[in-house]
Structure 1
Amino acid sequence: MRPLRRPFRLSVVTAATTVAALTAVTGCTEKSSAGADGVIAVTATDTACEVSKKEFPAGHVELDIENKGSKVTEVYILFPDDRVVTERENIGPGTKQKVTAEVKEGEYQIACKPGMKGDGIRQAVTATGSGKIAERDPRLDKAVASYRKYAQEQADETIPLVKVFAEAVKDGDVEAAKKAYAPSRIGWERTEPVAESFGDIDPKVDVREDGLEEGQDPEKDWTGWHRLERSLWQDGKLTDRDSALADQLVTDLEDWRKRVGKAEITPTSMANGAKELLDEVATGKVTGEEERYSHTDLVDFKANVEGAEESYELLKSVAAENDPELTKELDQQFAALNTLLDKYRADKTGYDFVSYDKVGDAERKELSDAVNALAEPLSRLAAAVVK
């Protein structure tokens, strides 16, 4: 999991006013409109978030992003209530990224987050028109419906597993809690972009200690899986606070389960979400930062890949017609990465993987190369879907 995404707390009413204030204070400025109607150039620096236009037609929109700052950044299109329309994370200094999104008529914000922390530097933007996307291939509507069902099933199946984990924590049974920890995270890891689209759930359940914001106290403000992971593997004991944290984890994930059905899901958000899952692997799992105490990173790794592949398979029939070479490459790269991951299974069908601290530098490099080989073509899936 990347550093904490702190909940965006702007109301619908105050959003435009707040962004105007940010413009004056941070140098978030509007450039003259340029390029095709559906393309918005976004120039991110450490202190500014410039957009080429503040008004554009509703429909398929492409963000053409360049990071001219010194910090890694991420860029979002946000609804007024701060739900995420689309995002692109881990945009390194001096690099460019493109992301395609489906945007209905209405008011939005484009946010850049230098350092990938805080509320970001924001621009208020407007999508104009009828509010209707051009008539969509029925196969894409079916893909969205199927993915929504998949995401709900993953959430539903997570709750009983989390309850087993929480009960073990509350019983003070360290070994039973360790055994239940990784399985309780699989459904979340498969569908993490859906959970992150709400903005406020992810920081409660999946933040690491180094993802806490300045001023937050790890002993008071840190909650979720990774706080309990530290107690189990580093401290080797469970306290009354851990029991309370276990109950809170169940409560927060029940909230997630209830909200999954309300998530904004489009073909492009599915495709972009698949890329986000590979980014999660590249920045957390391959490095060993995600599960730094338990070393169960490969379980998360596999779940992220499965979630990305589910989205891809649902969109594949349309993408294959529009860009057959892309789908051919994606098939090959998914197969190669899954084959590589199988090398680290203790069994060939379940989720009993080798402890990641036993995986050497050369093997980690091999895994990283396989992830990067898949992530690049996967970044082009959204554009292929809407051609």
Structure 2
Amino acid sequence: MPRPRHLGPIAGSLAGAAAVALALTGCVPNKAVAEAEAVQVTLTDTSCTVKTATAPAGPITFQITNTGSDVNEFEVLAPDKLRIAGEKENIGPGTTVNYVVQLAEGSYYTACKKGMVGSPTSLAPFTVTKGAADEKSPSESKQVAQAVANYVSYVKDQAGQLLTATQTFAAAYKAGDDAAARAQYPATRTYYERIEPTAEQFGDIDPALDLREADLEQGQNWTGWHRIEKDLWAPAGFTPSDPAGRAVLADQLVADTQKLYDLVHAKDFTLTLDQISNGAAGLMEEVSRTKISGEEEVFSHTDLWDFQANVEGADVAYGNVRAVLLEKGATGKATAKKLDSEFATIDKLLAQYRSGDGFVSYTELSTAQVKELSDSVNALSEPLSQLTSILVK
């Protein structure tokens, strides 16, 4: 019997231990995919080159090598060059990873993003031609459809709860009730952190809501959660926004959250199996990139709330595709067993740091405790990185 999937309390990140996180910034290559079967992609600090500009519809494996000096991101964009059909983040310098994405017949663009900030660069046309007929059995097709339907419902539910909680939080912040706003801040953000990979598919929504100060480009207008976080936990020498400035930030936060809500509640909104499984892996990459190092909540130090929310989101995504995974023979069953175990381990570790309805400040964690959490994230990330390639083959 699969263990129950929870939507438990919410939590998330860690600060000041960047060295511990270094081992987690890369992705585990999928050794099951032969190099000859993959579309070769080379990333540099100034460009990305896709060796083949066409591939048949279905699961497509991009084998991505980052020869540059900085972390990079590879994207597959829809014809409007805004909507993201697939993306692989956190590709560390000197690493090669395999990224599997399910693409329908049509026209796309490939692109990259050095440092994972700013606009995509090196946009190049990529054509997906008619592929072989889907060989899934009627039983498996039904399982896939049910998994997608269930997860889409989950995303809509989280977006709805996010909107309601954000409206309440923004009202408190706008009114100058800092105590109430600080108390609501981490709990409200958890709804977003659980479904962040879906939000990232909609172009500018994620940076509008969740951009960190460290990722600001010169001249860029900073809005969203972390801009407000800086007001609520103002560092020395920083002058918080006046009432008029607060009103602008609060109203924009609600408006951008409403956009996200509207997008996921649109009649044509759906997801694919690989978007769900890649999203689960992406959430753990979020943990390894900014939560383990404490770079997400640099003013409030509420990182453990985000950490837990990312784990919960990954767990729910995995839980929805688990039945499909179990139908994938011995490899699928072994992967499910491993994921069940690793999710249970990381849940147990995070539970040690609960305080009341939330979590202790990240600053209270010792280096050894951060290392223990880091090792658990690494252990969970490895089988999650293999999930999509097993599911779609």
TM-score (norm 1): 0.86
Q: Is 1:281 the counterpart of 2:287 in the alignment?
A: yes
TM-score (norm 2): 0.84
1:159–1:253 Cα contact (<8 Å) kept: yes
2:169–2:188 Cα contact (<8 Å) kept: yes
The residue number in structure 2 matching 1:268 is 274
Alignment of 1:352-367 (within 5 A): 352-367=358-373
1:244 Cα offset (Å) = 1.5
Q: Amino acid of the residue matched to residue 114 of structure 1?
A: K
2:152–2:270 Cα contact (<8 Å) kept: no
Q: Is 1:384 the counterpart of 2:390 in the alignment?
A: yes
The residue number in structure 2 matching 1:345 is 354
Q: Is 1:177 the counterpart of 2:181 in the alignment?
A: yes
Q: Is 1:336 the counterpart of 2:342 in the alignment?
A: no
2:58–2:131 Cα contact (<8 Å) kept: no
Farther off after superposition, 255-264 or 296-305? 255-264
Kindly provide the CA deviation profile for residues 174-198 of structure 1, in whole angstroms up to 9, marking residues without a partner as x.
1111011111111110000111100
1:41 Cα offset (Å) = 1.2
The residue number in structure 2 matching 1:258 is 262
Q: Amino acid of the residue matched to residue 353 of structure 2?
A: Y
1:264 Cα offset (Å) = 4.6
Secondary structure of the residue aligned to 1:71 is coil
1:76–1:87 Cα contact (<8 Å) kept: yes
1:104–1:131 Cα contact (<8 Å) kept: no
Alignment of 1:105-254 (within 5 A): 105-118=105-118, 119-129=120-130, 135=136, 137-216=141-220, 221-234=221-234, 239=242, 240-254=244-258
Kindly provide the CA deviation profile for residues 177-228 of structure 1, in whole angstroms up to 9, marking residues without a partner as x.
1011111111110000111100111111110111111332xxxx11011001
Aligned-partner Cα distance in 2 for 1:164–1:360: 34
Q: Amino acid of the residue matched to residue 130 of structure 2?
A: G
Q: Amino acid of the residue matched to residue 337 of structure 1?
A: I
Alignment of 1:55-94 (within 5 A): 55-81=54-80, 82-94=82-94
1:159–1:250 Cα contact (<8 Å) kept: yes
Aligned-partner Cα distance in 1 for 2:115–2:295: 17
Q: What 5-or-longer segments of structure 1 have no aligned partner?
A: 2-33
The residue number in structure 1 matching 2:26 is none
The residue number in structure 1 matching 2:27 is none
The residue number in structure 1 matching 2:36 is 35
2:47–2:121 Cα contact (<8 Å) kept: no
1:164 Cα offset (Å) = 1.3
1:117 Cα offset (Å) = 2.5
Q: Structure 2 vs 1, CA of residues 85 and 134 (structure 1 numbering), >3 Å: closer, same or farther? A: farther
Secondary structure of the residue aligned to 2:314 is helix
1:142 Cα offset (Å) = 0.6
Q: Is 1:299 the counterpart of 2:305 in the alignment?
A: yes
2:230–2:240 Cα contact (<8 Å) kept: no
The residue number in structure 2 matching 1:11 is none
Say which of 313, 318, 343 aligns to 1:312.
318
1:131 Cα offset (Å) = 9.7
Secondary structure of the residue aligned to 1:100 is strand
Q: Structure 2 vs 1, CA of residues 313 and 46 (structure 1 numbering), >3 Å: closer, same or farther? A: same
Q: Amino acid of the residue matched to residue 343 of structure 1?
A: Q
2:322–2:336 Cα contact (<8 Å) kept: yes
Aligned-partner Cα distance in 1 for 2:224–2:96: 34
Q: Structure 2 vs 1, CA of residues 205 and 131 (structure 1 numbering), >3 Å: closer, same or farther? A: farther
Aligned-partner Cα distance in 1 for 2:368–2:269: 40
1:161 Cα offset (Å) = 0.8
Secondary structure of the residue aligned to 2:274 is helix
> What number of residue pairs does the alignment pair up?
346
The residue number in structure 2 matching 1:9 is none
Q: How much identity, in percent, do the aligned residues show?
A: 43
The residue number in structure 1 matching 2:24 is none
Aligned-partner Cα distance in 2 for 1:133–1:104: 11
The residue number in structure 1 matching 2:30 is none
Secondary structure of the residue aligned to 1:35 is helix
Farther off after superposition, 131-140 or 149-158? 131-140
Q: What 5-or-longer segments of structure 2 have no aligned partner?
A: 1-11, 13-34
